[in-house]
Structure 1
Amino acid sequence: MNSKMNISFFASSLVSAYWNGAATYYRGIVRALHARGHRVRFYEPDAFGRQQHRDIDDPDWAEVIVYPGEGDAHARRMVEHARGADLVVKASGVGVFDALLEEAVLDLQGPGTRVVFWDVDAPATLDRLQANPADPFHALVPRYDMVLTYGGGDPVVQAYRRVGARDCVPIYNALDPSTHHPVGPDPRFEADLGFLGNRLPDREARVDEFFLRAAGLLPARRFLLGGSGWDGKTLPANVRNIGHVYTADHNAFNRTPMAVLNVSRDSMARYGFSPATRVFEAAGAAACLVTDAWEGVELFLEPGKEVLVAESGDEVAAHVQALDARAARRIGEAAYRRVLAEHTYAHRAAQLEALLEGRDAAQPQEVLA
């Protein structure tokens, strides 16, 4: 492998976080790879209104190539445009052309080109494959040089190997300290507990339990809800819905409330070892984070010291009731120190580079056991 790679990345969007929860992950990984001397072309379709809701301009650390979101011919031209890259990545969840791209990028494999499937929602992909033996992706998995995932730990690794993956390695979410960092409070986001996340079918029941139930139990406390899709949802009187929050405001959203909440999607919680981007965004802002319980959380943040873990909405309410500003700040600052030391995208890019070069790729040891 060349020490400095030309990488072609087919994914949802680098420049827009609108209905695109993986944006922070892509930006962190790509920026860190650029910092290590690699060149990235990022191919993204004009779909789902993302180009109309950009939250960053084209960055100087990647070449962004936007192509029409309709018409197979456009997607096929993009694949041909990527020919000759050292590494071609097809990410899950592009949203359009997924089946086409999953097969077409494999035609780029050759002596100087490796093709990787990078799954940003491995639990959903694996559940889909298990439910449908006729899914055409079954035949494609063994053809990829490698499967990377942004979470899942050993359960996901073993499940991917069972469906024929040559290898599967988690490259976990992390912090980009250049974009997510402590800031001053912002009166727009004042609350006792904030939750930021889009309304999704496989997370809504958990939001009802961990966030809205907690709000109902603490009518005198202020709760803040951010994210797309919540209009029309019946909310307790003490919950304020502010809609989509652009990434430029994420630091203030995380830093201003006394605490912020992470709620995993159903499949992520079931597989475990799947810290959302929001976990590291919050820790990077030195926020006091409360998270729903999932296996493996202690590999990233220490419960009780760097994060508060709750098994139910009742426990979320108990955490909020017991917190004061001083204790919340102590937890947030401990989380901030931990992620800077162990969980930045610079760490993840070094891991990926080592993996592709055949060297040991450092990860939390418990995950590799």
Structure 2
Amino acid sequence: MTRPLDIVLLGLSLSSAWGNGHATTFRALLRGLAAEGHRVLFLERDMPWYAGAHRDLPDPDFCELVLYDDLDAMLARFAPRLRMADAVIVGSYVPDGIRLIDRLAVMDLRQLAFYDIDTPVTLAGLDAGHEEYLAARQIPLFDLYFSFSGGEVLDHLEQRRGARRAEALYCSVDPTAYAPDPLAPKRWDLGYLGTYSDDRQPTLEALLLEPARRRPDLRFVVAGPQYPAHIDWPANVERIEHLPPADHAAFYNAQRFTLNVTRAAMRRMGWSPSVRLFEAAACGTPIVSDDWRGLTDLLPAPGSIRIASGPEDVLAALALPEPERQAMGRAARARVLAGHTGRARARELAHALRAPARLVAATGT
């Protein structure tokens, strides 16, 4: 029997889901790791925009969370723990990430890995010469490069970027937090949950705002922060500025359909499911989505998802008979529970971390 793993993860945020999807991704994964018996220390830079009322999980019960202010002081304090850990994983968008990776790379760690929750955005930035949280020269430093995107992206990372080993580690969902509520009244015909993004907005315009204009008798909702004041919201589109994770399941259950919109870089590369996709499916809420490679492998269409390229496709989905709508939701939920839970993802992570010879030799597993 293999022993539990000791993992240190340095990520953007676990304590606050305000304005980022990283927190919900980490929460599902770390809950899964705890359920599998593994030990995790999460180190998070204490940023002012995640503090106060925006810090909705200050004391998780599934891992050890430590906030730090100073990178050098944190590394000095936790150096013994970092060297003893079976794996140290750095996430994308970590503040001062490039300097952090350089410091970790010379610490003789058992394994150093990167978890890129933004792989297409990362690669597009590197192509443009932008190195915000990861430098191109650092990719070969990692024993493992975990990618939010799969498919051909993994070949690109290994063959073109010099990654020693690239593995897909998609986002996941905690099924104890996201489940159907058959008694919930349907307040909206179509909803969307997501922080504003320039490259997502045209799709949101085409697949939600325009359908709302054409069907003023239907009800729509958009939840998420940072939307500019100049957006022309139709009268039948309700706005919710921020929706904490504790309210996500109720939000999905109050919709007849939910909309999935993918960032442009992720759509181009494909195989980049968002955490919202799995959350909605776990609630049994039928999904209308923009199209990208790999989507119908994750959720086969038309049985468990509807693909839309314009407002006509959205309105056709909204007109589906109720039995067909409910069957879509059940099919999507079954697919997610079978392979996209946090515990399933935790097993994938542990299997990948145990595979390299360094760890096998060090632990005898």
Normalised TM-score (structure 2): 0.90
Q: SS state of the match for residue 43, structure 2?
A: strand
Q: Is contact 2:5–2:350 with CA below 8 Å preserved after alignment?
A: no
Alignment of 1:50-199 (within 5 A): 50-52=50-52, 53-68=54-69, 71-77=70-76, 80=79, 82-94=82-94, 96-110=95-109, 113-132=110-129, 137-151=135-149, 153-161=150-158, 162-183=160-181, 190-199=187-196
Q: Is contact 1:144–1:165 with CA below 8 Å preserved after alignment?
A: yes
Distance in structure 1 (CA, Å) of the matches to 2:223 and 2:130:
38
Look up the equivalent residue of 1:64 and give its one-letter code.
L
Q: Is contact 2:195–2:224 with CA below 8 Å preserved after alignment?
A: yes
Deviation of 1:75 after TM superposition, in Å, equals 4.9
CA spacing shift, 1:144–1:326, aligned 2, 3 Å: same
CA spacing shift, 1:105–1:186, aligned 2, 3 Å: farther
CA spacing shift, 1:48–1:268, aligned 2, 3 Å: farther
RMSD of equivalent CA atoms: 2.2
Q: SS state of the match for residue 192, structure 1?
A: strand
Q: What's the % identity of the aligned pairs? A: 33
Distance in structure 2 (CA, Å) of the matches to 1:303 and 1:77:
51
Unaligned runs of 5+ in 2: 357-365
Ranges of 4+ aligned residues in structure 1 off by more than 6 Å: 133-136
Partner of 2:363: none
CA spacing shift, 1:133–1:66, aligned 2, 3 Å: closer
Partner of 1:284: 282
Question: Whose relative contact order is higher, 1 or 2, with alpha carbons under 8 Å and at least 6 apart?
Answer: 2
Distance in structure 1 (CA, Å) of the matches to 2:164 and 2:215:
50
Q: Is contact 1:217–1:314 with CA below 8 Å preserved after alignment?
A: no
Deviation of 1:236 after TM superposition, in Å, equals 1.3
Q: Tell which deviates more after alignment, 17-26 or 229-238.
A: 229-238
Look up the equivalent residue of 1:294 and give its one-letter code.
W
Unaligned runs of 5+ in 1: 360-369
Normalised TM-score (structure 1): 0.89
Distance in structure 2 (CA, Å) of the matches to 1:267 and 1:283:
23
Look up the equivalent residue of 1:309 and give its one-letter code.
I
Distance in structure 1 (CA, Å) of the matches to 2:298 and 2:92:
24
Q: Is contact 1:75–1:97 with CA below 8 Å preserved after alignment?
A: no
Distance in structure 2 (CA, Å) of the matches to 1:184 and 1:243:
26
Alignment of 1:1-369 (within 5 A): 3-52=3-52, 53-68=54-69, 71-77=70-76, 80=79, 82-94=82-94, 96-110=95-109, 113-132=110-129, 137-151=135-149, 153-161=150-158, 162-183=160-181, 190-230=187-227, 232=229, 233-320=231-318, 322-358=319-355
Deviation of 1:88 after TM superposition, in Å, equals 0.1
Distance in structure 1 (CA, Å) of the matches to 2:181 and 2:328:
16
CA spacing shift, 1:79–1:264, aligned 2, 3 Å: farther
Deviation of 1:215 after TM superposition, in Å, equals 1.7
Distance in structure 2 (CA, Å) of the matches to 1:149 and 1:167:
10
Distance in structure 2 (CA, Å) of the matches to 1:93 and 1:108:
21
CA spacing shift, 1:178–1:206, aligned 2, 3 Å: same
Distance in structure 1 (CA, Å) of the matches to 2:221 and 2:320:
17
Deviation of 1:123 after TM superposition, in Å, equals 0.4
Q: Is contact 2:113–2:143 with CA below 8 Å preserved after alignment?
A: yes
Q: Is contact 2:20–2:195 with CA below 8 Å preserved after alignment?
A: no
CA spacing shift, 1:252–1:65, aligned 2, 3 Å: same
Q: SS state of the match for residue 83, structure 2?
A: coil
CA spacing shift, 1:185–1:20, aligned 2, 3 Å: farther
Deviation of 1:201 after TM superposition, in Å, equals 2.2
Deviation of 1:15 after TM superposition, in Å, equals 2.0
Q: Is contact 1:213–1:314 with CA below 8 Å preserved after alignment?
A: no
Q: Is contact 2:117–2:147 with CA below 8 Å preserved after alignment?
A: yes
Deviation of 1:196 after TM superposition, in Å, equals 0.6
Distance in structure 1 (CA, Å) of the matches to 2:216 and 2:89:
48
Look up the equivalent residue of 2:44 and give its one-letter code.
E
Q: SS state of the match for residue 258, structure 1?
A: strand
Distance in structure 1 (CA, Å) of the matches to 2:106 and 2:31:
27
Q: SS state of the match for residue 62, structure 2?
A: coil
Deviation of 1:102 after TM superposition, in Å, equals 2.2
CA-to-partner distance for each residue in 1:73-94, whole Å, 9 max, x for gaps?
3454466363321100000012
CA spacing shift, 1:126–1:280, aligned 2, 3 Å: same
Distance in structure 1 (CA, Å) of the matches to 2:153 and 2:250:
34
Q: SS state of the match for residue 182, structure 1?
A: coil
Alignment length, in residue pairs?
A: 351
Q: SS state of the match for residue 49, structure 1?
A: helix
Q: Is contact 1:227–1:242 with CA below 8 Å preserved after alignment?
A: yes
Deviation of 1:352 after TM superposition, in Å, equals 1.8
Look up the equivalent residue of 1:61 and give its one-letter code.
F
